[in-house]
Structure formats: structure tokens, C-alpha cells
Structure 1
């Protein structure tokens, strides 16, 4: 049986390894994008939660990490075109009310964008809308910074999509994030 400390250190070690691997093996930005002047990139997409087979898949046990993977789609319907994945993990402190470590990795594989974004949850709220911080990226999103807003599409439905709006800026560009 693994102790809570071992689980915590394994989760943190996995996160560090994922960041290092993403930095080493991420694709370079396409030349056409590298020569263009980009001030702000705004993206609107949807995170589709997986269909759970039973309740035990969604249960978070004490002293464990909650790991998730959702599809990223262009539209709010589960049948919309898939453009990537959202993966992340949460190390809960008090039944997900607080968390010591929340990270979401967004990976994209489309003709327009190829790469990933790292999004950090600074403070867990209890509403239907969360503001997150984009802390970096790879590939088409190399060194991106910005804001991500995550909102429940239909808060009353358990398996509803989450609307994710990204506002990104890139190195060498100044200005505030448009509101």
C-alpha cells in the first residue's frame, strides 16, 4: 500500500517530467507563423468530459490525486470536431475544496495550431466560471502567456461541456490582456 507522501511525490515527479518532456520533444512553430506579427491570439473551444461507466470512476478518495482527460472540440456538442486534449491533475487537500497543485495541459493538433499550453489554477472557486493563468506553451504556442476562462456550458447537467476561452500573448509583445 502506498502512503500519501509517496503518492504526492509521484504526482509532483510526473508533472515535472511531463514539463521537461514537453520542452524537449515539442514541435517547432511553423515558419509561416514565425514570420507573422501576432499581437493577441484569442481561441474559443470546449472541453468535453468523458462518459463515465459508473460512479466509482469519478470518486476521489482521501490522500489521492485526481487525474483527468477531456477532449477539446470546436463546438459545444460532443460530436464537434476534436482539436486536441485537456489533461490535468489535482492534488486535493479537503475534498477538492482546496488544492495544493492544479495544472491543466492543453495539446492541439490541427492545421492551424500544433503544440501545447500549460494552464495553472491559482485559486479554486465554487462558481460556474473560473479564471486561470496560461503559464507557457510549446510549438505554435511557444512561451505563450495569458488568461484562460473556463465556464460550465450548462451548469445543471453533469456531463455538459466546459467553454474555454483563451487570450494569449507571445514574447516580445507588450500590452495588457484585453478584457
Structure 2
């Protein structure tokens, strides 16, 4: 009987210790801990449509889209070019989860140099697309976040192509270690 009382007391003390540590621990209360290790970056850019027709491989039901567009600071074709948006998308149902369905955004400016990978597995024909940023290089190394593509109908003239605004909401590590060469 005495051993049973000692066992129950030990279990009660251990349970109480775990609960107290969870309540008192500074790590449990530091909700900004993850934010301290990452910095937030928001960018707003525009995707300029080329003056040539779109590239489509095997037009029809089973097609693939290949694109190469300019990224600019502003909505006008004469705005400063900051990079490129390139991709190869297979919209066929059986390839919806394909690793090919990635949009690559490359940047070459004094502020930012590098690239971002945006997952394009769930592209629909809506005026706004929210896609996941799955990584990056250079200034965007280990980036995570969201890329919002919005069709800008108010900026289009009667004879112009569709204009897309790209809003990037990125979380970047504060410190990126360089691999020694």
C-alpha cells in the first residue's frame, strides 16, 4: 500500500512539474520567437505581357504553357525592369501536382539579387491567385511566404494585353550562413 502511495505521489509531482514548466517557461510565452529569427519583406511589382503571342506546346486539351515576362516596378511597359517571371506550367489534371508547375521570379537590382520559386499547382481562372513561395536564392535565400497575382483591369486599355500585379509577402531568415568555398 505504501509503495502505491509513493508511486501516485511521484506521478502527481511529475505531472505538476510539467504543467508548471509549460506555464512558467519563457520559451512558451515568447510568441515572437519565430519572428525574431525571420524578417518580413513585402514587394509590389507588375508583370508585363510580351508583344508576341503566348507559347503553347501541343495546343488543345493537353497543353503546356511556357512564358517569359518582364517584372517592372510600375504598371507601364516603360517602368524600370527589376527582373523576370518565367515558367513552364502543365495544367492537365494528372500533372496538377507536377514539380514542373513552378513560376521562377528572378531579380537583378541594386537592392535585390536572386530568385524565388512560386508553386503553381492550383492555378484557376480567377482574377486573383494566391500561390505559395517555396524557396529562393541570393537575397531571397530560404524565403517562404505568399505571391498574390491580381488581374488589373483598370490599367488596361482597349488594345492591351492582360496586366498582372504581383504582391510578394515574404518571410526571410535574418541571418543566412554562407557555405565556405
TM-score by length of 1: 0.65
User: CA-atom RMSD, angstroms?
Assistant: 2.7
Cα distance per residue 1:58-110 (max 9 Å; x no partner): 6851444221000000001111110000000111316xxx8453210000000
Name whichever of 154-163 and 82-91 sits farther off: 154-163
Name whichever of 85-94 and 107-116 sits farther off: 85-94
How far residue 122 of structure 1 moved from its aligned partner, in angstroms, is 3.5
Q: Partner residue of 2:137?
A: 138
Q: Partner residue of 2:59?
A: 61
Structure with larger Rg: 2
**Is the CA contact (8 Å cut-off) linking 1:93 and 1:100 kept in structure 2?**
no
Question: Quick one: distance in 2 between partners of 1:45 and 1:111?
Answer: 16
What 5-or-longer segments of structure 1 have no aligned partner?
1-36, 174-179
Q: Partner residue of 2:122?
A: 123
Change (3 A) 1:127 1:60: farther
Aligned residues: 132
Change (3 A) 1:165 1:152: same
